Structure 1
Amino acid sequence: MVTLLRTSGLLLSLLVAVGGSSCTSLQERSNVPQQSTSVTSTAPSSSAPQDDLSAVVPVVRRVGSAVVQINTSRTVRESVEGFGLDEFRGNRVPRPEQVQRGTGSGFITTADGQVITNAHVVAGADTVTVVLKDGRNYPGRVVGSDSISDLAVVKIDATNLPTIPLGDSNALVPGQLAIAIGNPLGLSNTVTQGIISATERSVAEIGIPDKRVAFLQTDAAINPGNSGGPLLNAAGEVIGVNTAIIQGAQGIGFAIPINTVKTVSGQLATKGRVDYPYIGIQMAALTPQLRAAIDRSNLGFQITQDKGIIVLKVLPNTPAARAGMRAGDVIVSVNGTAIESVNQIQQQVDATGIGKPMQITVSRNGNAQQLAVRPEALPARPSSQG
């Protein structure tokens, strides 16, 4: 189970989870040794190995003050047995209200108070409070939030604030140092270190298909409450936003690459939303097993190959439908690039942008077809589409 990392404190975790079994408890976590090393921002002792501290301590001292704690509260109504029947009969029975509190992380990117965090940290919040490392706290206003990327921009009214520089996630390779700063389980300004374990982890691989991100994987220890906090490189630059963990695993965490964050946060800051290009198809990687299943199902089309990306469905009134794409088409290339994975197609759609033509070559019943598709803005309530 993948868990998004918002928490309400040490004893009670408010976890936004997708599928799977129940979450690992704090007690169970405390009995399992962590793979990553935890480092504080205090001066190293004379006996501490300098090699372990030389990279991390300067980074924490330089940018740690720009990492913030984000506290939220939201009012929810508890369900009351029989309430629906009473309401149907015209008896308005007030339901008791409960205030839920949560804690996440974030980091300051501009001296006048722009803060980046996860969308699930502030989702549904009635109040947002941003707490700085020095104890100052400010009311926060959610400028924009995007559930597809799980990113949000919060603004506080302040000046001369510390900031963190943003790096380049496209330059990352597995094995590089990774430093996480955040507020896991409400423990403020916690620092852990590890490495970049992998890049370009697809949403299908980690089980959160409603997102549209190619994640970074890290073994730096992150836990509920780290959500929205920065993942840093050895230069003290943000390379990702810590977002999710796999429950029951050790040293498997995921972060949104900072290059994605730059694009999304820029749109959120200027217009409060993100426009995603889409073409309106459901697709899958073709395998001999899938081909056999399609043949048995008699879906009205024939497949003559065992590899490629097959279009399973073309949604009506979408760019793909208007371009003449059909279920059963096997996508061979996009804009002259040979296609080997579903991720490649999504990347090509994103790179093309809204309103610009994509040249797509498909194999239809063994014959090559050329299609010109113009991506449009993804509707507000999308289905799972490419």
Structure 2
Amino acid sequence: MKKTKHNLQVPDIDPWGFLHRRESSNMIKLMLLNGVAVVSLSGCSFLPGRIFESQTNNPQSQVTTQNTNDHSPALTTPAFTSSSGTDPNFVVAVVQQVGDAVVRIDASRVVQSRRFPTDPFLRRFGNPGLSQPRERVQQGSGSGFIITSSGQILTNAHVVDGADSVIVTLKDGRTFDGRVLGEDPVTDVALIEIEANNLPILPIGDSDTLQPGEAVIAIGNPLGLNNTVTSGILSATGRSSSDIGASDKRVDYIQTDAAINPGNSGGPLLNSRGQVIGMNTAIIRGAQGLGFAIPINTVQRISQELITKGRVDHPYLGIQMVTLTPEIKATINRDSGDRLNITADQGVLLVSIVPRSPASLAGLRLGDLIQSINNQPVTKIEEVQKLVATSQIGIPLQIQVERNGQVISVAVSPAPLPAEIQS
């Protein structure tokens, strides 16, 4: 497994036989500019954060509350009124009420591999028989939760990424062949479907109203142990991708101390009323009590796009940038010679522009210091990323930059994030 800044780990059994940590080679990279560490948003403009590790595989999906044809809408009201403040057994009540809507997902794919001779003579002169490709099956498992009574299920994209076979097991033991309806590796959300009716579903909560300290419950299949329940509190909200070392993602995560382990990927994080508020996604290797979930409102938004368009278009500018500090300013001015002369003490400095990207076509330049976007002041990379992520493709952003001591405005129209950068 590759290393990340925080040794981030995917909390589930990777379908391909190992814990898969996505470290994007052509999205956000850690670079050095004259000895200064910068976040690179090369082809993958504005993913909020750093390198992040998902729980299993990586298909994209979304939660839908709309009902089409036979699809029942996900509930938006509490399944019951029990709460941790009035019922000491609220976890039991939640599990009994909604636990049947949590599923196990087993994914497998066939891969080609070659055998190479170990004898130095054979390795030098070759032995075609020993180097012929052979097929082997990679397997892994994760979790998911049902959102429509007709069989739509949400999970992590990395749980089913590249799978040839997806098997869904319900709590009652029934198994179904699953079909991936859509996936979005940028947010790590996937939507799959099974042919079934009258299935239990999870009610949907509101992740925008969460407060640190709230009681939460996680249900999933960690390490192959089906229907495992853990509980804790909501430790924090709004953890950026860079906070947890997940630069190839565009998500502000929920942090929880409920136990999350390999196999929990794609499973629900529930509030004390039994509503799903997040999708369990990542852990930090070696840490204790540090689990992360995708907010359910983000999952819903992504799922709606997958359902309506079959894809998710993420706004893209094509820049590499660094949050300016007095120390970085001094280093750049010292090491760049006459190429750059930074006068401001704060802002977001552009250190590279992707050729033929929206930023390049609009006229942004190396050394521009972003001060505001659409008249909203920015001083950190994360602020720029959030404003771009919530922008609309084709609608110009008015970006105010300081260039050679003067403030100018540049209109940049976001384009869809190129597919080769997402994968």
Partner of 1:54: 89
Q: What is the CA RMSD across the aligned residues, in angstroms?
A: 2.6
Q: 1:383 to 1:119 in 2, by over 3 A?
A: closer
Q: Which runs of 5+ in 1 are unaligned?
A: 20-48
Partner of 2:296: 258
1:151 equivalent in alignment to 2:189: yes
Q: 1:170 to 1:225 in 2, by over 3 A?
A: same
In 2, Cα distance between equivalents of 1:348 and 1:365:
25
1:304 equivalent in alignment to 2:343: yes
Residues 13 and 224 in structure 1, CA contact (< 8 A), matched pair in contact too = no
Q: 1:155 to 1:319 in 2, by over 3 A?
A: same
Residues 331 and 362 in structure 1, CA contact (< 8 A), matched pair in contact too = yes
CA displacement at 1:329 relative to structure 2 = 1.1
Moved segments of 4+, more than 4 Å: 49-52, 82-93
Partner of 1:363: 402
Q: Which one-letter code corresponds to 2:222 in the other structure? A: P
Q: 1:86 to 1:275 in 2, by over 3 A?
A: farther
Structure 1 residue aligned with 2:366, among 315, 323, 327?
327
Q: Which one-letter code corresponds to 1:17 in the other structure? A: R
1:2 equivalent in alignment to 2:37: no
Please say which of residues 308-317 and 76-85 is displaced more in the overlay.
76-85
Partner of 1:216: 254
Partner of 1:176: 214
1:65 equivalent in alignment to 2:100: yes
CA displacement at 1:269 relative to structure 2 = 2.6
Describe the SS at the equivalent of 1:78.
strand
In 2, Cα distance between equivalents of 1:88 and 1:263:
54
Residues 14 and 20 in structure 2, CA contact (< 8 A), matched pair in contact too = no
| Number of matched pairs | 353
CA displacement at 1:192 relative to structure 2 = 0.7
Q: 1:87 to 1:122 in 2, by over 3 A?
A: farther
Q: Which one-letter code corresponds to 2:385 in the other structure? A: Q
CA displacement at 1:53 relative to structure 2 = 3.6
1:292 equivalent in alignment to 2:342: no
Q: 1:270 to 1:59 in 2, by over 3 A?
A: same
Q: Which runs of 5+ in 2 are unaligned?
A: 1-6, 24-83
Residues 115 and 132 in structure 2, CA contact (< 8 A), matched pair in contact too = no
Partner of 2:138: 100
1:15 equivalent in alignment to 2:32: no
Residues 178 and 220 in structure 1, CA contact (< 8 A), matched pair in contact too = yes
CA displacement at 1:18 relative to structure 2 = 5.3
Partner of 1:23: none
In 2, Cα distance between equivalents of 1:112 and 1:134:
16
Per-residue CA shift, 1:196-227, capped at 9, x if unaligned? 11111122221121111111111000100000
In 1, Cα distance between equivalents of 2:256 and 2:316:
29
The sequence identity of aligned pairs, in percent, is: 51
Residues 8 and 186 in structure 1, CA contact (< 8 A), matched pair in contact too = no
Describe the SS at the equivalent of 1:381.
helix
Per-residue CA shift, 1:115-169, capped at 9, x if unaligned? 1101111112110011111111110001111211111111111111111122111
Residues 8 and 185 in structure 1, CA contact (< 8 A), matched pair in contact too = no
**1:118-157 map, 5 Å:** 118-157=156-195
In 2, Cα distance between equivalents of 1:287 and 1:370:
22
In 2, Cα distance between equivalents of 1:260 and 1:50:
28
Q: 1:380 to 1:82 in 2, by over 3 A?
A: farther
